[in-house]
Structure 1
Amino acid sequence: MQPGGFTLPLLKLAGEDPAPLPGWPELTLARLRTRQAVEAPARRLYLVLEGELLIDLASGSYLHLHPGDAAQVEEAHTLVPVAQAVVLEWKPSS
């Protein structure tokens, strides 16, 4: 694999939402503006880059993430951005 770089702010401006990251098919960058339900099996890792994100878990608890916060989730959940959030999402293939 050849070394390469990309600028996350440029991906946000590219207009593709969610935007895949070049060479990393399991990673996407998304600007969340509305609630999104994620059904089981739902193994995900979220890293908040901008804004705030609430993650409502099927178990009844929730996570409140701020910029720089990350969370691994392994159950059905709902993403609830506070106004909006820019999130890097890892969705493992197995």
Structure 2
Amino acid sequence: MSLIKNSKGKVVSIRAASLAKMTGYGSDHRTILRAARLLKRLSRQNLVRANTEGLGKNRSYRYVLDENSELWRLVRSNPTVKAKELLAQLIKNS
């Protein structure tokens, strides 16, 4: 949510390793896999888009949020309540 709230543009992209580091859980393999699973669940719910361009040797997906996303609109309108509840519900149900 902080990525969207603090963004100056209309698009935000993130990788699982960056998400794990940003949340403060470290950068060990287990944490990165958990972050990747979360991003994959969010992409299944059409809240983020998996970008496969430039998937070379690295093979790590870049997930993209743009201003047309429902999550983007929720965070921009009311970041403290609606977006947190939506994310918590998605994580709990998956």
More helix by share: 2
Q: TM-score, normalised by structure 2?
A: 0.30
More strand by share: 1
